[in-house]
Chains A and B, each alone.
Chain A
Amino acid sequence: MLLALAYLAAFLALPPLLLGIVNRVKSRFAGREGPPPWQLYADLARLLRKGAVYSRTTTWVFRAGPVVGLAAVATAGLLTPFGGAPAAIGFAGDFVLFAYLLGLARFFTVLAALDTGSSFEGMGAAREVTFSSLAEPALFLCLMTLARATGSLSLGGMFGPALPLAWGRAAPALLLTAIALFVVALAENARIPVDDPNTHLELTMIHEVMVLDHSGPDLALILYGASLKLFLFGALFVRLVLGFPVEGLAGLAMFLAGLAGFAALVGVIESIMARLRLVRVPQLLVGASVLSAFGLVLLLR
C-alpha cells in the first residue's frame, strides 16, 4: 500500500524530470551544456504565477481543453502499473479505458485548438487526429499481443508476474511488440521522428502548434499533462522490456533507472534522427501496426 502511494507520488512528481533528461541528452549531443534537468519545474512554477490572455474568438471549450486533458491523463495514470507495484485500479479490459482516456484528452486539446479559429492551430489539429487514429490500432495490437502472451486482460496482469514467463515462451513476439510500442510512444508524445517538439512556427509542427494560443496556467497544465503522458508510455515500455521480476524498494529503483534510460533513448533518437516528412509519418505508424500484428500472428498460429 505504502509502496503504491510512493509510485503514485512518483507519477505525479517526476514526469517533468523525464523531459529534462531528454533535453539534457540532446544538448550533450549538440555539444552544449544545456538547461538543468529540473528546468521544466521552474518553467511550470513561472507559468503558474502568470496571468493568461484569451482570444476573443474562443469560448468555454478553449478553457476546458487543458483541464479535461490533464484530468484524463492523470486518471489514465491510475490504471497504469508502475514498477513492481500493481495499478491503483485494475479490471479486465482496463487498457481499453486507458487508451480511450488518452483519446479524450486528445479530443479536447484538438477542440481547444479549433476554437481559436487560427489556420495554424487547425493545421496542427488535423495532423494530430490523422496520426493518432493511425497509432491507435498499433497500440491495441501491442496490448492484445501482451494479453495473449500473458493470458490476462488487465494492464496489471499483462505487465505483471506473468510477463517474465511470457518472455521465455514468446520472446520474438514480445520483441516486435516492444519495438512497435516504442514507435507508438514516440508518435503519441509528439517526439522526433514524428513531430519536433522544438519547432513552434514552422509548417512541420503538430502538437506544439495546437497549443500556440494557450498561455500562463493553461500552458502549465498542458506541459505538465504532456510530461505525464510521456511518463505513462515510458512506464509501460520499461516494464515490458525489463519484465520486472523485482518487487519492493529495489523494484522502485530499477523502475526509475529504467525510465531514465527510456528518456535517454528518446533523447538519443532525437539527436541522431531527422524528423520524417509528413507524408512518411503514416507509413511509419502503419509499419508499427504491421510489426505488432506480426507479433500477434506469431502467437495465434
Chain B
Amino acid sequence: MSLALVLAGLVLASCSGGAALALRRAPALAQRAACAVLVAGAALGIAGAALALGGAAPAGLHARWSVPGGALAVRLDALGAVFLLPVFGIPAAGSVYGLAYFAQARRGAQALRLQGFYGLVTGAMALVVLAANAMLFLAAWEVMALCGFLLVLTEQEKPEVQRAGFVYLAATHVGTLALFALFALLGSAAGSFDFARMAGAGLPATWGVFALALLGFGLKAGLMPLHFWLPGAHAAAPSHVSALLSGVLLKTGLYGILRVTGFFAAPPLGWGLALLAVGAASAVLGVAFALAQHDLKRLLAYHSVENVGIIAMGIGLALVGRAVGDPALVLLGFAGGALHVVNHALFKALLFLGAGAVDHACGTRELDRLGGLARAMPLTAALFLLGAVAISALPPLNGFVSEWLVYLGALRALSAPSLAAWAALAAPALALVGGLAAACFAKVFGTVFLGTPRSDQGARAHEAARAMLAPMAGLAACCVLIGLFPGLLLPALRRAASAWAPPAAGLAAGAARSAVDSASALTGCAAVLLAAAGLLAAWRRRRARGAPAAETWGCGYTRPTARMQYTGSSFAEMLTLRFGWAFFPRARVEPPRGPFPRRATFSSHVPDTVLDVALLPLLASASWGAERVRRLHRGQVQGQALLVGLTLLALLAWRFLWW
C-alpha cells in the first residue's frame, strides 16, 4: 500500500510537466494544471512515506530489466521514507510558489522547460531513494543530476549561469564516476547488484569503499572541500529551483552515504570519526564562508554546506556508535542527522523562497543595496525571520531540536571507551557553528529587512504575491510544529534508525524513551517561553500605545542617512578576519588622489577557496600543459615518425633491460 502510493506519486510528479506542455496555448491554465498534478503526486508520495514511517512493513517490487546486472527493483523502508518527505514536500511548495514567481504567461518557453524538469527531478529523486538495485540507482542518479543541470541552466543567456552550470556538470560526473567504481567494487564482492544481496553478503569494510562513497556522495552533498560547485549553481538558478536543489537534492548524497554504510554489519571506528571530522570541517568553514558573502542566495547556498556538515556529524556519531556497539549512540546520532535532513529542507526552502521574494521585489540580491524591507514586505519579513531563527538552531523552532539530538549523541560519546570518546569534541564545534550561524542570520535579516533602504531598488519594494506567501507560510508552520512537538517524531526516527542498523533492543529502547521524555520537557520549556513572551508582549503593547516617534538617536546628529548604517560587510568583518587563514579576499581599491580627488572606489569579495583559488588555476595549468603536449600530435609527418620511432625504441629498451 505504502509503496503503491509512493510509486503513483512518483509517476504523477514526473509527468507533471506534460500537462503544461499539452495546454501551452493557455499558459496560466497550463501552469496551474502542472502545479496541481505535481501537488497531487506529492500528496500521494507523502502519504505513502508517512505510512512507512508509521510502522508499515517494508515493501518491495522486483522486475527483470535488460540492463546487465540490473533489475527494476524498488523497496520502501523507513530510512527511505524519511528522505521521501522532503523529496515530495519541497517541490510541491516550490511549484505553487512558481505560479507567481516564474509565471508561464510571462516567461513562456523558459517556464515550460523549468516545469518539465522540476517534475522530472522530483520523480528521479524519489526513484533514487526507492531503488534497490545499483544499476537502477545509478540510472535514476544520472537522470536526477542532468535534470539538476538543466534546471540550473534555466536562464541560460546569463554568462554566470553558464559557468555555474558547467562547473556543476563536471562535478556531478566526477561523482558519478566514483559511484560506478564503488558499486563495481561492492557488486563484484557480493556477486550481485541488488542492495539486499549486498547487505547480506558480509562485505569486507575497506577504506577504498569508504573513500569512493565519500567522494561520490560527498560531491553531491556538498561536503567541504567537495562543495565548490554548489554556491555558484544554487545562486544562479531561479529561487524555487535553488530551494529544491539546496533543500532536497543535496540530501540524496547523504542518503547514499547512509544506504552504503548500512550494507556493513560493523563499520570500523575510523569511518565514523572520519565522517565526523569532515562534517565538522564542512559545518565550520561553510558558515565562515557564508559570513563573508554579499549575495543573498550565495550566502544561503554556503549555509547548505554548513547544514550538510551538521547532518554528516550526526551520521558520523551514529557510525561511531555502531563501531563501539552502543545502540543509544546510534539512535541519537542517526535521529539528529535524519531529523536535520527534514528540518534543513523546510527552513532552507523557506529562506530561499523568501530570498526569491526579495529579489522579485527589489531586483537585486546584493545585501548592501537592500535594507528596511520589513516595512514594505512585513509578511515576507516575518516568515524570513522565522526561517532565520530556525536555521540558527534557536529554540523553540525545529532547527534546535535536531541539533540538540546531535549534541546528545556527542555527549553520549563522552562515556564511550578510549578513542571514540574524542567524538565528543563534535559538541564544541557545533557550539561554534551555532554562534556563527546566529551571527550570520543577524547580519542577513538586519541588512535586508531592518534599518532604512540603502538604494532606490530597496525603497521601491512591494509585498510578495499570495501564491508566493502561501507555500512559505506552510513551510514555516512545519518548522514551528516540529519545534514545539519533537516527541511525536521520535518513534518514526527510531524505526528509520533500525532500518539502517538493527539495534540491540533493550539499550536502544531505554535511550529512545529518555530522549522522548527529554523532548517532551523541551515542549514544556517552549510553552513557558512562549507564555512569558506573550504576557510581556501584551503588557508592552498596552503600555506603548500612543508612544511618540522620533529620529534614531545619533549622538546629537539630527540628519542621519541610510549610508551611515552598518552594512552587511562591516557587520561581519570582525568575524571574517578570524577566518583570514581560509579566505583569499580580492579587493579592488582606487584610493582618492591629489588635492581635489575625483572618484574613489573600493570593492571586495571573497572567492571560493577551493574553486577559484585552487581548482581553476590548477585545471588551467593542466590545460596549458596539455596544449604543449598536443603540439607534438599535429604538424609535420617527420616529427610524428620520430615520435613513433622513439616510442618503439623506449619500449624495446624497457623490454630487454628490466623485464
Tally A residues with Cβ within 8 Å of B: 79
Known: A115-B450, A116-B451, A201-B555. A129 touches B404 (CB 8 A): no
CB within 8 A of A74: which of B407, B439, B532?
B532
In the complex, per-residue mask of A207-244: 1 if CB is within 8 Å of any chain B CB, else 0: 00000110001100100000000000000000000000
B547 close to chain A: CB less than 8 A: yes
Contacting residue for A89 out of B434, B524, B551, B562, CB 8 A: B524
Chain A residue numbers with a CB within 8 Å of B565 are 117-119, 122
Mark B515-530 against chain A: 1 for CB-CB distance below 8 A, else 0. Answer: 1011001101100110
Interface digits, B530-572 against A, CB 8 Å rule (1 contact, 0 not)? 0011001100100110011111111100001010111000111
Instruction: Report whether B525 and A79 are in contact in the complex, using a CB–CB cutoff of 8 Å.
Output: yes
A70 to B533, CA, bound (A): 8
Query: By the criterion CB–CB under 8 Å, are B435 and A132 in contact?
Result: yes
How many residues on the B side are at the interface (Cβ–Cβ under 8 A)? 82
- From A79, A90, A130, residue with most partner B Cβ within 10 Å: A130
- Which residues of A (112-155) have their CB < 8 Å from a CB of B? 114-120, 122-123, 125-127, 129-130, 132-137, 139-141, 144, 147-148, 151, 153
Contacts of A79 in B (CB 8 A): 525
Q: Is B432 an interface residue (CB 8 A)?
A: yes
Question: Which one, B381, B435, B441, B543, contacts A134 given CB within 8 A?
Answer: B435
**Provided the pairs A79-B525, A100-B395 are in contact, do residues A56 and B566 lie with their beta carbons within 8 angstroms?**
no
A4 contacts B by Cβ under 8 Å: no
Which one of A57-65, A190-198, A246-254, A258-266 is at the B interface? A57-65
A76 to B152, CA, bound (A): 45
The residue of chain A having its C-beta at the shortest distance from the C-beta of B566 within the complex is A122
Contact B570 A100 (CB under 8 A): no
Q: Is B415 an interface residue (CB 8 A)?
A: yes
Stretch among A27-35, A37-45, A103-111, A171-179 lining the B interface: A103-111
Partner of B438, one of A67, A74, A103: A103
B407-449 CB mask vs A (1 if < 8 Å, else 0) is: 1100100110000011010011111101110110111011101
B residues near A78, Cβ cutoff 8 Å: 525, 528
* Cβ of A205 to closest chain B Cβ, rounded Å: 12
Question: Contacting A130 at CB < 8 Å: which of B378, B452, B518, B574?
Answer: B574
Cβ-defined contact, B529 with A101, below 8 A: yes
Distance in angstroms between the alpha carbons of A58 and B446 in the assembled complex:
11
B572 touches A151 (CB 8 A): no
- CB-nearest residue of chain B to A118: B552
List A contacts of B424 (CB < 8 A): 144, 148, 296, 300
Given contacts A67-B536, A144-B411, A153-B408, is CB(A72)–CB(B434) below 8 Å?
no
Q: Once the chains bind, are A67 and B552 in contact (CB under 8 Å)? A: no
Q: Is the CB of B547 within 8 A of A96?
A: no
Q: Is the CB of B570 within 8 A of A122?
A: yes
* Central interface residue in A97, A148, A300, by most chain B CB within 10 Å: A97
The interface residues of chain A lying within 8 Å CB-to-CB of B429 are: 137
Contacts of A89 in B (CB 8 A): 521, 524-525
Contact A97 B525 (CB under 8 A): yes
| A289 at the B interface (CB under 8 A) | yes
Contact, CB under 8 Å: A53 / B550:
yes
**Bound-complex Cα distance A253 to B392 (A):** 39
Q: Given A68-B533, A71-B529, A289-B428, A126 and B571 touching (CB < 8 A)?
A: yes
Contact B374 A57 (CB under 8 A): no
Interface assignment of B393: CB less than 8 Å from any CB of chain A = yes
Residue B375 is within 8 A (CB to CB) of chain A in the complex: yes
* Between-chain CB contacts (< 8 Å), 20 pairs: A59-B378, A61-B449, A75-B532, A89-B524, A96-B404, A100-B394, A103-B434, A110-B442, A111-B446, A114-B571, A116-B451, A118-B554, A118-B564, A126-B574, A132-B439, A134-B432, A137-B432, A213-B553, A217-B544, A218-B540
Q: A61-B385, A129-B439 are in contact. List 18 more A-B contacts (CB 8 A).
A: A57-B552, A67-B533, A71-B533, A71-B536, A78-B528, A92-B408, A101-B525, A115-B374, A117-B451, A117-B552, A122-B446, A127-B574, A130-B439, A130-B578, A132-B439, A148-B414, A221-B540, A300-B424
Those 10 A-B pairs whose CB atoms lie nearest each other, nearest first = A122-B566, A133-B435, A114-B446, A117-B451, A129-B439, A71-B532, A71-B533, A136-B435, A140-B431, A55-B552
Where the two chains meet, the residues of A that have a C-beta atom closer than 8 Å to any C-beta of B are 51-61, 63-64, 66-68, 70-72, 74-75, 78-79, 89-94, 96-97, 99-101, 103-104, 106-107, 110-111, 114-120, 122-123, 125-127, 129-130, 132-137, 139-141, 144, 147-148, 151, 153, 201, 212-213, 217-218, 221, 282, 289, 293, 296, 300
